[in-house]
Amino acid sequence: MAEPDPSRGARRSYAALGAVWALLLLFPLAAPNNFVLNLGISWFISLALAGSLNLLMGYAGQISLSHAAFYGLGAYASGVLSAKFGVSPWLGLCAAIALTAAAAFLIGWPSLKLRGHYLAMATLGFNVIMSVMFVELRGLTGGPNGLVGVPSLSLFGWEIGADIRFYLFAWVVVGLMMLLILNLLHSRMGRALRALSTSELAAKANGIDVHAVKLGVFVLSAVMAGIAGFLYVHLNNFASPENFDFVASVMLLVVVALGGTGTYWGPFLGALLHVVLPEALRAFSDFEILVYGISLVLVLLFFPAGLSGAVARLGRLVGRGGGR
Amino acid sequence: MNAAAPGEALLEARGLTRMFAGLAAVQELSFGVAPGAIKAVIGPNGAGKTTLLNLLSGFIEPSAGEIRFGGARIDAIPAHARVGRGMARTFQNLQVFGRMTALENVMVGRHVRSRAGYFAGLLSTPASRRETEAARAAALAALARVGLERRAHTEATDLSFGELKLLELARALASEPRLLLLDEPAAGLALAETDRMAGVIREINARGVTVVLVEHNMRLVMSISHDILVLNFGRRIAEGSPEAVQAEPAVIEAYLGRDDDA
Ligand SMILES: Nc1ncnc2c1ncn2[C@@H]1O[C@H](COP(=O)(O)OP(=O)(O)OP(=O)(O)O)[C@@H](O)[C@H]1O
Ligand SMILES: [Mg+2]
């Protein structure tokens, strides 16, 4: 099947993103109550997580098992600074970005030098260490009971409470994030990271500094997870270690795989599952990870390209009448 | 970059050696490649031809010896940085970017001729967008040079083997190399495709690109190369014009009993 001109393809993606984002403005009108509205906010945060992990895993082909740890690092950085030290959350955001970037750099630099699955192993270790820190640094983090008293955000004196206001705020922040990702994918670096995921040899032979490009995308995806953490902690005024543990990281991998790795729209669908499944499976909460595992196997068996691949296939079937 | 003085080799190897577990795959090899030449490197399987290309392009490090390109030592320069200096290569076993179209594959070849980094890409700065447009135009031109322009928007995985060989060549060309290192560009090609490949290589060379050609297909080698280096067990056994090399007893002996696909 001949792909259309990629520049036209890019324009179509931008148009689709704009349309989806405009539609999302209608969601609060349709949401019957604050609970449903909050699911919408959770979806934004999940999308930021899945979208950034997809950039690393789906496009650049690098497996990280600590995406939740970066999410937590962002949450705790801004949460602790604002709750315990009275620092402005906006400075907290800067701290969250700086800390996640620095941590990702330190982990990524050595482990990405080596060929093989060193990044997966290093990030696995990092997530375990971070989980221990979130629990053990009681004085700062509140330990296993969680960090309480995190202030809400306020902008020009307006408080961004956990309702339509936060919905709009997340709409802007995550919308920008997804726009930046789309920009990147159509740029020189986006092509470089897609290239190296299929052949590092050929990437090198085309002048790509494979280590630097991988390190860059790893830091970028970690920072985006950190920003998602910042959103989370100031939305809930609370953070608790189990949201950021190794299981949460694995779950995010599953969410990206379910949505469809290396497709721009995959994370949109994956994030939907991430938000809806736990609600639907509340009765089986102990088996949540099991259900995730089984659904992953099923989806990958029947739709190897994930849900977005299945939707695309459906779209082609439906579009066959009027299309080219 | 310091240009080679007239008469000086564009590429020069001196005492180049590469050991693998105590065995020399390339041994004490010294030779030069004149600017503008097509220099073939031939030899039986396992002679060390690919190892030599890997050394020249920086994919493996020499155990001893030195490499000069355009007069400057390059053996300490990493592979990716050699591309920016004007050295591009293809692979014996295809290395294309599967989930990208032919055009996108070749646009990756423009990497060293553009500079937008992560920030410019994320923000889609005007400079970054201009670069992408320029890369697209240059990539289309490179595809046209190998006759693949009509396949530009086809996924690489949907191209035929012969087309993929040409695609790799177009991608290497897109970086505007002064020196092109080709590892068996005609391996696995049918007769007509081989002739097409020969034409393309000759064309590229006529536009001033120096070529090092590793190839088993003797018909191709003898028809387009100016100069031939013959390796056996990592050592040079002959070097010179196609006619001279063919008459060399050591070469005949090395190939004796071998039923080559020539
Ligand atoms: N990475 C490696 N590790 C160990 N030995 C190697 C390695 N690469 C090559 N060799 C050995 O070095 C020798 C030269 O191999 P090379 O691939 O350079 O040969 P070639 O001339 O390209 O052969 P062909 O015509 O089959 O492509 C062979 O004996 C091979 O087994
Ligand atoms: Mg070889």
Q: How far is the CA of B31 from the centre of ligand 1 (A)?
A: 20
Q: Is the pLDDT score of B228 beyond 60? A: yes
What pLDDT shows up at residue B256?
63
* Start-to-end C-alpha separation, chain A: 11
In a 3-state reduction of DSSP, which class is residue B146?
coil
CA-to-CA distance for B67 and B52, rounded, in angstroms?
A: 11
Contact of B85 with chain A, judged by CB distance below 8 Å, is answered with no
In a 3-state reduction of DSSP, which class is residue B256?
coil
Which residue, by CA, sits nearest to atom 28 of ligand 1?
B46
Contact A207 B172 (CB under 8 A): no
User: pTM, whole model, 2 decimals?
Assistant: 0.92
What pLDDT shows up at residue A319?
62
Which residues on chain B are in Cβ contact (under 8 Å) with A190?
121
Residue of A55, A204, A209, A218 to mutate, testing the B interface (most B Cβ within 10 Å of its Cβ): A204
Q: Which ranges of chain A would DSSP assign to H, the alpha helix?
A: 6-24, 27-30, 34-54, 67-85, 89-111, 118-136, 138-141, 164-185, 188-198, 200-205, 210-236, 246-259, 266-280, 288-302, 306-319
The pLDDT of B190-196, averaged and rounded, is 94
What pLDDT shows up at residue B258?
52
Nearest CA-CA partner of A202 in B186, B44, B235, B175: B175
Q: How far is the CA of B48 from the centre of ligand 2 (A)?
A: 7
- B166 CB less than 6 Å from ligand 1? no
Q: Within the 192-211 window of chain B, which residues sit less than 8 Å (CB to CB) from chain A?
A: none
Task: State the burial class of residue A21 (Cβ atoms within 10 Å of its Cβ: 0-12, 13-18, 19+).
Answer: middle
Which residue, by CA, sits nearest to atom 8 of ligand 1?
B51
CA-to-CA distance for B230 and B233, rounded, in angstroms?
A: 10
- Weakest-pLDDT range from A98-107, A273-282, B173-182: A273-282
- B50 CB less than 6 Å from ligand 1? yes
As a whole-number percent, the residues of chain B with pLDDT over 90 amount to 89
Contact A180 B171 (CB under 8 A): no
Which residue, by CA, sits nearest to atom 5 of ligand 1?
B20
The pLDDT of B8-16, averaged and rounded, is 95
Which residues on chain A are in Cβ contact (under 8 Å) with B84?
207
Q: How many residues does chain B have?
A: 262
Contact B59 A204 (CB under 8 A): yes
- Weakest-pLDDT range from A150-159, B49-58, B248-257: B248-257
Identify residue A304 by its one-letter amino acid code: P
> Of A3, A187, A203, which is closest to B132 when you measure between CB atoms?
A187
CA-to-CA distance for B87 and A69, rounded, in angstroms?
A: 42
Contact of A195 with chain B, judged by CB distance below 8 Å, is answered with yes
Bridge partners, residue A267, by sequence: none
CA-to-CA distance for B111 and A188, rounded, in angstroms?
A: 7
Contact B108 A186 (CB under 8 A): no
Nearest CA-CA partner of B142 in B117, B187, B175: B175
Instruction: Please write the tens of the pLDDT for every residue from A117-126.
Output: 899 999 999 9
Identify residue B80 by its one-letter amino acid code: H
Identify residue A227 by its one-letter amino acid code: I
Which residues on chain B are in Cβ contact (under 8 Å) with A209?
78, 80-81
Q: Is the pLDDT score of B6 beyond 60? A: no
H-run or E-run covering A216: helix A210-236
What pLDDT shows up at residue A305?
72
Q: How many residues does chain A have?
A: 324
Q: How far is the CA of A273 from the centre of ligand 1 (A)?
A: 50
Kindly report the average pLDDT of chain B as a whole number: 93
Contact A180 B107 (CB under 8 A): no
Half-sphere exposure in the Cβ direction for A203 (13 Å, CA)? 23
Q: Is the pLDDT score of B1 beyond 50? A: no
Q: How far is the CA of B95 from the centre of ligand 2 (A)?
A: 14
Which residue, by CA, sits nearest to atom 18 of ligand 1?
B48
CA-to-CA distance for A95 and A73, rounded, in angstroms?
A: 10
Which single residue is written with the structure tokens 């820190």?
A133
> Of A181, A207, A217, which is closest to B80 when you measure between CB atoms?
A207
What pLDDT shows up at residue A302?
73
Evaluate whether B234 touches B27 at the Cβ level (below 8 Å).
Answer: yes
Which residue, by CA, sits nearest to atom 12 of ligand 1?
B25
- As given in the structure block, the two tokens for residue A205 are 């032979």
CA-to-CA distance for A304 and A200, rounded, in angstroms?
A: 24
As a whole-number percent, the residues of chain A with pLDDT over 90 amount to 71
Half-sphere exposure in the Cβ direction for A259 (13 Å, CA)? 31
Q: How far is the CA of B45 from the centre of ligand 1 (A)?
A: 8
Contact B153 A220 (CB under 8 A): no
Instruction: Please write the tens of the pLDDT for every residue from A80-134.
Output: 999 999 999 999 999 999 999 999 999 999 999 987 789 999 999 999 999 999 9
A58 falls in which pLDDT band (50, 70, 90)? very high
Strand-pair category, B179-183 with B210-214: parallel
As a whole-number percent, the residues of chain A with pLDDT over 70 amount to 94
The pLDDT of A307-321, averaged and rounded, is 70
A1 falls in which pLDDT band (50, 70, 90)? very low
The pLDDT of A191-216, averaged and rounded, is 97
Which single residue is written with the structure tokens 């082909």?
A61
Atom in ligand 1 nearest the alpha carbon of residue B92: 27
Contact of B123 with chain A, judged by CB distance below 8 Å, is answered with yes
Task: State the burial class of residue B7 (Cβ atoms within 10 Å of its Cβ: 0-12, 13-18, 19+).
Answer: exposed
The pLDDT of B50-59, averaged and rounded, is 97
Instruction: Please write the tens of the pLDDT for every residue from B67-78.
Output: 999 999 999 999
Residue of B61, B74, B80, B171 to mutate, testing the A interface (most A Cβ within 10 Å of its Cβ): B80
- The nearest alpha carbon in chain B to A213 belongs to B118
Atom in ligand 1 nearest the alpha carbon of residue B216: 25
How distant, in Å, are the alpha carbons of A71, A165, A308 from that of A258?
20, 30, 8
A324 falls in which pLDDT band (50, 70, 90)? very low
Bridge partners, residue B232, by sequence: B235
Provide the b/e sequence for B156-181 (b: ≥16 CB within 10 Å). beebeebbbbbbbbbbbbbbbbbbbb
Evaluate whether B39 touches B228 at the Cβ level (below 8 Å).
Answer: yes
- B194 CB less than 6 Å from ligand 1? no
Kindly report the average pLDDT of chain A as a whole number: 90
What pLDDT shows up at residue B262?
44
Nearest CA-CA partner of B181 in B50, B61, B67: B50
Angle at B24 between CA B18 and CA B30, to 5 degrees: 60
What pLDDT shows up at residue A6?
57
Instruction: Please write the tens of the pLDDT for every residue from A156-181.
Output: 888 898 889 999 999 999 999 999 99
The pLDDT of A49-73, averaged and rounded, is 96
CA-to-CA distance for A245 and A43, rounded, in angstroms?
A: 19
Higher pLDDT, A115 or B237: B237
What pLDDT shows up at residue B178?
97
Instruction: Please write the tens of the pLDDT for every residue from B81-103.
Output: 999 999 999 999 999 999 899 99
Which single residue is written with the structure tokens 């497996």?
A63
Evaluate whether B106 touches B174 at the Cβ level (below 8 Å).
Answer: yes
- Per-domain residue ranges for chain B? 98-176
What pLDDT shows up at residue B140?
97
